[in-house]
Amino acid sequence: MRAVVQRVDGAAVTVGGETVGEIVGQGLCVLVGATHTDTEETAARLARKLWSLRVLEGEKSCSDVGAPLLVVSQFTLYGDARKGRRPTWNAAAPGEIAEPLVEAVCRHLRALGARVETGRFGASMRVSLTNDGPFTVLLEV
């Protein structure tokens, strides 16, 4: 699984003008993509990494300060544009595989004690955020 993690001071995702997920204040906005070989254990490892990643102010983690996470599925993280001008999506897991894996990341985060907001899988989403730093990191588990 891949995740683009942004330290934020607030973030929200809307679908059709309706806010479906929002965090206020310090937290993480996490775009998550899955590939064909990912499993429930991969999702659990990613959740543990996100919960304990020390990237908040003062080198704290979400677990240290109870900061929320906004998790948004993002199959385009596995896009490949090395050849030509149009990306291919061959490495991205199809929806029937990816959706339960992204949900598993959220479920594992919640089991660890996290407050998790989400987007809506497969929907045309608008994500707005204030990147704090700016700070963005790519994770791969």
Which residues are annotated as catalytic? 74-76
Query: Which residues are CB-contacts of 113 (< 8 A; sequence separation ≥ 6)?
Result: 51, 63, 66
Phi, psi values for residue 58, rounded to 5°: 75, 25
End-to-end CA distance of the chain: 6
Phi, psi values for residue 66, rounded to 5°: 70, 30
Total count of residues recorded for the chain? 141
Spell 59-89 as b/e; 16+ CB within 10 A means b.
Answer: eebbbeeebbbbbbbbbebbeeeeeeeeeee
For residue 87, give the amino acid letter. P
